Amino acid sequence: MNPHPLIESLAGIYPEGRLLIHPGELASFESDGLTSYRTRPAAVVIAETQGEVIETVTLCHQHGVPFVARGSGTSLSGGSVPVKDGIVIALNRLTRIVRLDLTERIAVVEPGVINLDVSKASAASGLYYAPDPSSQQICTIGGNVAFNSGGAHCLKYGMTSNHVLALKAVLPDGEVVQLGSESVEGVGPDLVGLFVGSEGLFGIALEITLRLLPRPEQYQTVLAAYHSLEAAGNAVASVVASGLLPGAIEIMDRLAIQAAEAAVHPNYPKGAEAVLIVELEGEAEQVAEEYKRLEVVIRDSGAYEVRLAQDEADRQRIWKGRKSAFSAVGRLSPDFIVQDGVVPRSRLGETLAEIKRLSQQYNIRVANVFHAGDGNLHPLILYDGREAGAHERAEKLAGEIIRLCIRLGGSITGEHGVGLEKRGYLPEMYGEADVDLMWKLRCAMDPKQIANRGKMFPSGASDGPQAARATGLHPLEREGIISRE
Amino acid sequence: MLRPTTIEDLQAAVREGGRLLPRGGGTKPALSTPTEGVTPLDLSGLSGVLEYNPGEFTFTALAGTRVAEVQALLDSHGQYLPFDPPLADRGATLGGTVAAGVSGPGRYRYGGVRDFILGVRMVDGNGDVVYGGGKVVVQLHCAALQETMQALYRVYTARLDVDALDLAPETDGSATLWVRLGGLPDALPARAERIRAMLGGGDNVTGEREAWLWREARDFAWAQPDWILVKVPVTPKRIASVETLHATSLRRYSAAGNVAWIASPESPQSLDGHLSSVGLSGLMLFGPPGHARLGIRTGQAVERRVKEVFDPQNRFSET
Amino acid sequence: MQHTIPVDRVGPAGEEMARAVEKCVHCGFCLPTCPTYVTLGQEMDSPRGRIFLMKSALEGGLTVEDALPFVDRCLGCMACVTACPSGVQYAELLTPYRARTEKSRPRSFTERLARTLARETLPYPGRLRLAATTGRLAAPFRRFLPASLSAMLSLLPDELPPATKPLPRTYPAEGQRRARVALLAGCAQQVLAPEINWATLRVLARNGVEVVIPDGQGCCGSLMMHTGDGDGARDLARKNLRAFPKDVDAIVTNAAGCGSGMKEYGLLFKRQPEEAEGRAFAARVRDVSEFLAELGIESPPVSAPIAVAYHDACHLAHAQRVTEAPRQLLRRIPGLTLLEISEGELCCGSAGTYNIEQPALAEAIGRRKAQNILRTDAAMVVTGNIGCIVQIRASLGRLNKPMPVLHTMEVLDRAYRGMEN
Ligand SMILES: Cc1cc2nc3c(=O)[nH]c(=O)nc-3n(C[C@H](O)[C@H](O)[C@H](O)COP(=O)(O)OP(=O)(O)OC[C@H]3O[C@@H](n4cnc5c(N)ncnc54)[C@H](O)[C@@H]3O)c2cc1C
Ligand code: SF4
Ligand code: SF4
């Protein structure tokens, strides 16, 4: 697995300056949005064409050297952390919007295109790309596809997966495939759905066909302040039970509010233990009617202050506060872990109370920001890495919260993916046979397991040939279906 | 014919060997009629809703459960399946709907069947029970099986007769455009008015006739029973190319021009050729077995790899 | 981000540097506003990447030389600071880091020459004038010169404006006096565009402001501060601490770079005897647009309609967070339509000596800005910094689409004087 012969071959593809091998060039690629994991790759290639990506992947396969595709490196689960002695394929120069068909309402983009830029490119025609991760001004469509990223407005419109119509991708063994079509309907197995959310383990998306939606004619953004987090959580259940389907339902607790205020001054109600943001959107008449209903629900939910966004600038301010929250927490604490779990919405209040109890028990502050409408929690666990043992305790608390989600019938990730961070929890959520099936699928797509090696699957099974050999042959190997060099 | 009534029976049936073709309600004969040497595997014995949680808008049911049964249950709580599962009134089962991947007109606004599947427990080609997904709204790779609002939201349908619109020059006839709106009752008239203004006219359709209209669409009552019926994913711009090809067939375009349902007296082979020539693919629901997939096929490399994993011994036949 | 920077062993600003690193959560929100990142599309040329590199170098995991090329390519535009939700004070890492590594850096002879030339001439009006004149003489030989020197020459105007009469010691308010301020005359600007100072004086006077122009003032020192020469910068700043009177309402400047530099005097003198004095000085510094907007101005008379694009100078928008004030002033001009430039937060590529040190990159960044400006359909560009004026003029010129580029004060002055804008 000596990467150097590979690097020699890569030098045949990439001119100087786009094949990075010096420490100063490699260092900044060591980690993603989760900085507690760091690995320096053997090389980074700055690809400029799809052809280069295909050639690189093919070479990696020939040499059996692992690779990691990298968008903007904002993954919060260690998804874009390089593999030791592996190659990083940076896609930030693949930024062509190949086709923008505003009548068919589709955009065909290369993977390095930034999420928000798709909306910007289609804005003049009143269209936009609906999935809006908080990181939308920088995260790439490639990264979104890998993680099936969501955002505040995915409550109503669905996550990335619901907006990707077709894909051109290079599989980890170099085969180029075309999946899906430009129609929202398909025939046969949903292969696009299989690829979206595969965390880079099934290869690299090269061209993605996205569905665009007409920009809602009207927004009504409601900000409600509560004296307790649980009350806000229960309000969510009431909104959902009322039958309304708002564009977004978000909650931030006191610590998160404090951080957002310091960062971007969204001017949330003073003294709130929690704020609830509910956004209605759509045709004007419908929004007006829905608001009448929402007003009653919110009034009865115990909010002590309710505010409406006065204009677009005001609305943007409210959202900027919410979307800056993760990074803004950096103002409150030198280190933090962003956790990502899901619970059934009816158990939100209960979950929040339990998180609070755990926070007290561990004596570690936990800030909460979340996509409340779909029960997707983002507890931010604040700690100071310079204190001995603090990181370990914070991780332990993070683990307890994730187990809590599993126990309540939820999931170990809503949108940030399993990556490196959560691979240990996969077997807690799925049975052995289920994980085994996923692993077989992985091997069928990537016989040498070079794409994002070591991610998603619990270590041991997937840490590469050595580790796998140490634990014996994989069942598929025994059956002669896969083989490794 | 095998008719397991427990999961264990089903596993045993699969492990037994031989090629099998699962069948639910048999409403899509082109997909569920076995060919030579293939044993039908009737799943109607694995039926029943296992769990229903109205507060979360989720339920879990066995694959052989009839969609109509689920709908009745949901209806009692003012909920429904917004993707309008086709052929429900003719006896379609959940499993068949999911496996065929077919959705009705409502998919335009709310998403298709796959967007409502949260998790699936299945028996693979080795006879093992495996599970993917979960039960909460956001999932690893799945979306929600939830919806609301039947009681709260009322529907509204407008009917408009238009001259062939942008369709093919050869078509002499006219087309009818049906628009269905759903939402809070007080906002509906104004919204409907807007659409009428945009289209330059149109009549309201209400009551029984309204319900009948959409049921007819869902259940393909309009298609001749002895013709083939094929689902063809298209886009609004591709409608013209479908129109040029099929003068003798009946076409319904659903989901704002994203699906063409083609009922035709032609043979599957000839439609297959037509579709291939314009670069479209199709799935046959009514018609003779052995021709489920028509037209071009994409992603075969991946499909093959997936098949090898789930069904390495090729137990399950395509039709 | 966790780090193991040996805080007490990396110089007097160790704590500030470490704090910036700690605050960075590696989220990447700063990337889209960084001119080098959007141009080059690679992590090491992004703010997040640079923070990581400087951190690694301070920790000892990388050598200074390894990190240097990427730290060097930073324009110091501080767009990343504006964008950062976590409150990373990037300048507090970059400036001391550069000061620390300046001495040990290996630079090519011509780079050194150009840099020294720039640092030894730009801050001194007399020398700059001389250099500009002789530099123009060298222009025909430009293609034989190394890129960095050639770039420096290409920015020189074809013809220097005539040296105007020296600025007066005081310039009286018209009508009733509403305020009294001291003006920093600036260095490069005095040679390249002396009319900006005169326009400033007239606009201030027109709005009842008396201006003193203290003798003995010199360069603000920010050029040196930002290229890593802390001692040199302090020498210059000390002169200003002495020269400027304390009995004025504000110390006003019309050069955004100088304003941001002087607002940093507190930091510059950190743990030095002059710390308190520096801080007090900094607190009184105002950009002229900021000062006038706070004071409130008279509306100019109606003039012919014109559409102008306002360019946010980085040193004004990002370093001083002054964005609304100049717009507010411009909106007071009847007939003037204010247009926004898309990607407005991006630097124009000027940034001090950057043109000289990174000519190719500066040109690419400049081109992007010029293209964005051309998309607005404006007939004129307005901005608050001489460096931007020169760079934008040159960038528009390279695309063969010249258009007037004026300082906010010039536009106001013309409006008050009923001149066609
Ligand atoms: C402050 C902050 C807020 C965030 N908010 C949200 C949020 O609201 N919702 C949400 O879902 N996420 C959120 N995230 C997480 C993150 O932004 C998303 O996961 C995003 O999709 C990652 O995009 P990226 O371009 O940075 O990808 P990277 O981090 O570079 O890569 C992510 C993964 O995708 C793989 N990958 C990249 N490109 C490709 C490709 N072309 N083909 C195949 N695989 C590829 C990588 O190998 C890696 O495994 C947030 C992150 C931050 C830092
Ligand atoms: S925005 Fe701030 S915290 Fe985020 S990467 Fe940039 S400097 Fe670091
Ligand atoms: S100061 Fe400007 S050039 Fe330097 S890192 Fe920040 S945004 Fe980029």
Cα A482 to its chain centre, rounded Å, is: 30
Residue B123 lies in a domain: no
Q: Which of A415-429, B198-212, C293-307 has the highest mean pLDDT?
A: C293-307
For chain A, say whether C2 makes contact (Cβ under 8 Å): yes
Residue in A72, A81, A98, A135 to alter for ligand 1 test, most ligand atoms within 8 A of Cβ: A135
One domain, residues A316 and A450: no
Name the closest residue on chain A to residue C24, using Cα atoms: A330
pLDDT value for C89 = 93
Identify from C3, C7, C26 which residue to disrupt to test chain A contact, counting A C-beta atoms within 10 A and taking the largest count: C26
Where is the domain boundary, A48, A71, A90? Answer: A90
Residue A479 lies in a domain: no
Strand A274-282 with A218-226, pairing: antiparallel
For chain A, say whether B136 makes contact (Cβ under 8 Å): yes
Q: Do A72 and C24 touch (CB under 8 A)?
A: no
Tell me if A449 sits within 8 A of A64, measured CB to CB.
Answer: no
Tokens 């247009």 sit at which residue?
C339
Strand A376-383 with A341-342, pairing: antiparallel
One domain, residues A266 and A376: yes
Residue B124 lies in a domain: no
Judge whether residue A211 has pLDDT over 70.
yes
Where is the domain boundary, A386, A403, A421? Answer: A421
Ligand 2 centroid–CA A339 distance in Å is 19
Give per-residue burial for C267-288: e unless 16+ CB within 10 Å, then b: bbbbeeebeebbeebbebbbbb
Query: Do C301-416 and C170-293 fall under one CATH topology?
Result: yes
Provide φ and ψ at C339, rounded to 5°.
-110, 145
The CATH architecture that domain C170-293 belongs to is 3-Layer(aba) Sandwich (3.40)
Ligand 1 atom with minimal separation from the A149 CA: 11
User: Using CB atoms and an 8 Å cut-off, which of residues 271-290 of chain B contact chain A?
Assistant: 281-283
Right CATH number for C7-104 from 3.40.220.10, 3.40.50.150, 3.40.50.2300, 1.10.1060.10? 1.10.1060.10
Residue A227 lies in a domain: yes
Q: What CATH number is given to the structural domain containing B168?
A: 3.30.70.3450
Length in residues, chain C = 421
One domain, residues B194 and B286: no
pLDDT tens by residue, B109-138 = 888 888 888 778 888 888 888 877 654 433
Which residue's CA is the closest to the ligand 3 atom numbered 8?
C34
Judge whether residue A302 has pLDDT over 80.
yes
Side by side, which strands form the sheet with B228-233? B250-254, B259-264, B228-233, B281-286, B293-295
Provide φ and ψ at C285, rounded to 5°.
-75, 135
**Per mean pLDDT, which range of A274-288, B23-37, C6-20, C129-143 is the poorest?**
C129-143
E strands, A65-163, in order: 67-70, 87-90, 97-101, 106-109, 127-128
**Per mean pLDDT, which range of A447-461, C293-307, C369-383 is the poorest?**
A447-461
One domain, residues A278 and A403: yes
Where is the domain boundary, B193, B218, B243? Answer: B218
Ligand 2 pocket member C79 (CB < 6 A): no
Tell me the shortest Cα–Cα distance from B154 to chain A, in angstroms.
Answer: 12
Residue A115 lies in a domain: yes
Q: Do A90 and C43 touch (CB under 8 A)?
A: yes
User: Using CB atoms and an 8 Å cut-off, which of residues 207-236 of chain A contact chain C?
Assistant: none
Ligand 3 pocket member C90 (CB < 6 A): yes
Residues of A in contact with C24 (CB under 8 A): 330
Name the closest residue on chain A to residue C71, using Cα atoms: A24
Ligand 1 atom with minimal separation from the A208 CA: 41
Select from C28, C44, C66 the Cβ nearest to the Cβ of A138: C28
pLDDT value for B198 = 81
Which residue's CA is the closest to the ligand 3 atom numbered 5?
C47
Cα B66 to its chain centre, rounded Å, is: 14
Residue A460 lies in a domain: yes
Select from B112, B186, B309 the Cβ nearest to the Cβ of A437: B309
Say which amino acid occupies A373.
G
Where is the domain boundary, B153, B183, B218? Answer: B218
Structural domain including B169 reads 133-218
**Overall CATH class of domain C301-416:** alpha beta
Give ipTM to 2 decimals: 0.90
Tell me if C214 sits within 8 A of C182, measured CB to CB.
Answer: yes
pLDDT value for B69 = 93
Give the whole-angstrom CA distance, residue A432 versus residue A429.
Answer: 10
Selection from B32, B35, B66, B34 nearest residue B49 by Cα = B66
Q: Do A330 and C56 touch (CB under 8 A)?
A: no
Ligand 1 centroid–CA A264 distance in Å is 23
Residue B206 lies in a domain: yes
Token pair, residue A157, equals 């419109």
Residue B2 lies in a domain: no
Selection from C144, C222, C210, C219 nearest residue C181 by Cα = C210
One domain, residues A389 and A408: yes
Q: Do B149 and A243 touch (CB under 8 A)?
A: yes
pLDDT value for B184 = 79
One domain, residues B225 and B167: no
pLDDT tens by residue, B92-115 = 998 889 889 999 988 888 888 888
pLDDT value for C151 = 53
Tell me the shortest Cα–Cα distance from C372 to chain A, in angstroms.
Answer: 15
One domain, residues A416 and A288: yes
Ligand 3 pocket member C80 (CB < 6 A): yes
For chain B, say whether A351 makes contact (Cβ under 8 Å): no
Give the whole-angstrom CA distance, residue C22 versus residue A386.
Answer: 10
pLDDT value for C156 = 56
One domain, residues A282 and A360: yes
Ligand 3 pocket member C78 (CB < 6 A): yes
Judge whether residue B27 has pLDDT over 90.
yes
One domain, residues B206 and B137: yes
For chain A, say whether B51 makes contact (Cβ under 8 Å): no
Residue B1 lies in a domain: no
Where is the domain boundary, B218, B251, B279? Answer: B218
pLDDT value for C161 = 62
Ligand 2 centroid–CA C146 distance in Å is 36
Residue A358 lies in a domain: yes
pLDDT value for B203 = 78
**Per mean pLDDT, which range of A145-159, B116-130, C105-119, C165-179 is the poorest?**
C105-119
Selection from B291, B289, B240, B245 nearest residue B264 by Cα = B245
Ligand 1 centroid–CA B303 distance in Å is 26
Tell me the shortest Cα–Cα distance from B283 to chain A, in angstroms.
Answer: 6
Strand A127-128 with A213-214, pairing: antiparallel
pLDDT value for C108 = 56
Judge whether residue A23 has pLDDT over 90.
yes
Question: What subunits touch chain B, counting only 3 or more CB pairs under 8 A?
Answer: A
The DSSP string of C357-397 is HSHHHHHHHHHHHHHHHHTTT-SEEEES-HHHHHHHHHHHH
Give the whole-angstrom CA distance, residue C421 versus residue C418.
Answer: 9
One domain, residues B17 and B110: yes
Q: Do A243 and B190 touch (CB under 8 A)?
A: no
Residue B126 lies in a domain: no
Q: What CATH number is given to the structural domain containing A124?
A: 3.30.465.10
Residue A322 lies in a domain: yes
pLDDT value for A479 = 43
E strands, chain B, in order: 19-23, 38-42, 49-53, 58-61, 119-123, 129-133, 154-163, 174-183, 203-205, 228-233, 250-254, 259-264, 281-286, 293-295
Which residue's CA is the closest to the ligand 1 atom numbered 32?
A143
Q: Do A243 and B234 touch (CB under 8 A)?
A: no
Residues of A in contact with C41 (CB under 8 A): 46, 90, 92-93, 95, 112
One domain, residues B32 and B109: yes
Give the whole-angstrom CA distance, residue B162 versus residue C343.
Answer: 46
One domain, residues A396 and A435: no
Tell me if A422 sits within 8 A of A432, measured CB to CB.
Answer: no
Position C157 confidence tier, pLDDT thresholds 50, 70, 90: low
Mean pLDDT for all residues in chain B: 81
Give the whole-angstrom CA distance, residue B260 versus residue B271.
Answer: 13
Q: What CATH number is given to the structural domain containing B11?
A: 3.30.465.10
Where is the domain boundary, A178, A198, A214? Answer: A214
One domain, residues A410 and A456: no
Structural domain including A462 reads 431-474
Question: What subunits touch chain A, counting only 3 or more CB pairs under 8 A?
Answer: B, C
Give per-residue burial for A248-271: e unless 16+ CB within 10 Å, then b: bbbbbbbbbbbbbbbbbebebbee
Selection from A134, A129, A305, A110 nearest residue A227 by Cα = A305
Name the closest residue on chain A to residue B189, using Cα atoms: A285
Judge whether residue C240 has pLDDT over 50.
yes
Position A314 confidence tier, pLDDT thresholds 50, 70, 90: very high
Neighbours of A219 (CB within 10 A): 17
Q: Do A193 and B299 touch (CB under 8 A)?
A: no
Judge whether residue A318 has pLDDT over 50.
yes
Residue in A129, A147, A192 to alter for ligand 1 test, most ligand atoms within 8 A of Cβ: A147
Say which amino acid occupies C172.
P
Q: What CATH number is given to the structural domain containing A18?
A: 3.30.43.10
A186 contact partners, CB below 8 Å, separation of at least 6: A180, A192, B101, B233
Selection from A474, A413, A479, A432 nearest residue A199 by Cα = A413
C343 three-class SS: coil
Judge whether residue B145 has pLDDT over 70.
no
One domain, residues B17 and B108: yes
More confident residue, C51 or A385: C51
Provide φ and ψ at A208, rounded to 5°.
-125, 130
The DSSP string of A3-24 is SHHHHHHHHTTSPTTTEE-SHH
Q: Do A137 and C29 touch (CB under 8 A)?
A: yes
For chain C, say whether A261 makes contact (Cβ under 8 Å): no
More confident residue, A381 or B318: A381
Residue A484 lies in a domain: no
Where are the domains positioned within chain C?
A: 7-104, 109-154, 170-293, 301-416
Q: Do B128 and A433 touch (CB under 8 A)?
A: yes
Ligand 3 centroid–CA A348 distance in Å is 41
B144 contact partners, CB below 8 Å, separation of at least 6: A374, B57, B58, B115, B116, B118, B137
Ligand 2 pocket member C47 (CB < 6 A): yes
Number of domains in chain A: 4
Give the whole-angstrom CA distance, residue A247 versus residue A244.
Answer: 10
Report the share of chain C in percent with pLDDT over 90.
57
Tokens 């018609």 sit at which residue?
B287
Judge whether residue A79 has pLDDT over 50.
yes
Ligand 2 pocket member C27 (CB < 6 A): yes
- Give the residue-averaged pLDDT of C97-118: 66
Ligand 3 centroid–CA C20 distance in Å is 14
Judge whether residue B310 has pLDDT over 90.
no
Sign of the CA dihedral running A204, A207, A209, A212: positive
Angle C143-C148-C152 from CA coordinates, rounded to 5°? 85
Number of domains in chain B: 3
Residue A485 lies in a domain: no
Ligand 2 centroid–CA C228 distance in Å is 23
pTM across the whole model? 0.89
Mean pLDDT for all residues in chain A: 90
Residue B276 lies in a domain: yes
One domain, residues B18 and B67: yes
One domain, residues A190 and A119: yes
Token pair, residue B216, equals 């007819």
Ligand 2 pocket member C87 (CB < 6 A): no
More confident residue, A286 or A478: A286
Give the whole-angstrom CA distance, residue C384 versus residue C315.
Answer: 9
Judge whether residue A335 has pLDDT over 90.
no
One domain, residues A166 and A73: no
Residue B275 lies in a domain: yes
Selection from A278, A300, A304, A301 nearest residue A290 by Cα = A278
Position C121 confidence tier, pLDDT thresholds 50, 70, 90: low
Ligand 3 centroid–CA C386 distance in Å is 20
